[in-house]
Amino acid sequence: MSSTRPNQLFRNISSKIAAIPMIVTALFVFVGGTIWTVVYSFTNSGLLPRLQWVGLDQYERLWATRKWLISIENLAIYGLCMLVLVFVIGFILAALIDQKIRFEDTIRTVILYPYALSFVVTGLVWQWMLNPEFGVQKVVRGWGWESFTFDPLYSADIAIYGVLIAGIWQGSGLVMVLMLAGLRGIDQDVWKASRVDGIPTWKAYIFVIIPMMRPVFVTTLVIVVTGIVKIYDLIVAQTGGGPGISTEVPAKYVYDMMFQANNLGQGFAASTMMLVTVALIVIPWAILEFGGSKHRD
């Protein structure tokens, strides 16, 4: 027993040494930066960081600010709709492509292509598409439907849904690829057994296939949620937070506080709240995935 442990310790020693710079970087840059942000969120930092403690004042001020509350509301609307729609659309597309259709590679590439674009490009493309002067509305009216109106970005009440359209267009391809990988990992004997038992295809998906793909769904959920929480460039490129402040989101609020209002303390507090949101998703996922695997072992 005692001789085995040293052998395990020095096994692959070169790879462990090579990993030291990465570990140091993670500790000092990522972990250190996170701790630094949280600590300074309790200070009265303005243009420059300063250790002048104000307790929870920054958080109280944050949750009393209308712009921040609108940002949270927009994030909730965008996030919930985005999650439901990209999962539904992505899974349906994956299920269709999994049927060994013709030109599968071409179709998969076309659907995934929007994800290869930056959010800035996506935002600019859909800003043009939703412009009533020369976008979708203009085209449809040119076909003779003069009363057709489709300009969500120009109405404060529904502008966030215009951003949602662009987000779904870009994100559905990624979800499709992840779901398709999960479907391709299902043993064909499972499908054969369901057909022998006379189970309809839709029931096989809902009650057999989807439960077996739980790890894929959880991993995809984490990827999509973290992308939703930190959404910034799509908003800036497509609406700039407007009309007014109707499409403000937390990440843009942080940027505005830090680099326009010169209020680092408020920006750090908002950043910490975003960190908490992501942690509430990532930590349970880590426990389920890694804790569950250890328990199974």
In single-letter form, the type of residue at position 55 comes to G
Model confidence pLDDT, tens digit, residues 189-210: 888 888 888 888 889 999 999 9
pTM: 0.85
- Tell me the CA distances in angstroms from 72 to 134, 211, 239, one per residue in order: 32, 32, 17
pLDDT at 261 over 80: yes
Q: Topology of domain 56-296, per CATH?
A: MetI-like fold (1.10.3720)
Model confidence pLDDT, tens digit, residues 93-110: 999 998 888 888 898 899
Q: Where in the chain are the domains?
A: 1-40, 56-296
Number of residues written out for the chain: 297
- Tell me the CA distances in angstroms from 16 to 3, 6, 22, 217, 290, one per residue in order: 20, 14, 10, 32, 21
pLDDT at 7 over 70: no
CB 261 within 8 A of CB 62: no
Report pLDDT for 215. Answer: 87
Report pLDDT for 6. Answer: 52
Span 262-278, average pLDDT: 92
Span 21-28, average pLDDT: 82
Q: Give residue for tokens 């310790």.
A: 9
Q: pLDDT: is 11 or 85 the higher one?
A: 85
What tokens does 285 get?
């996922």
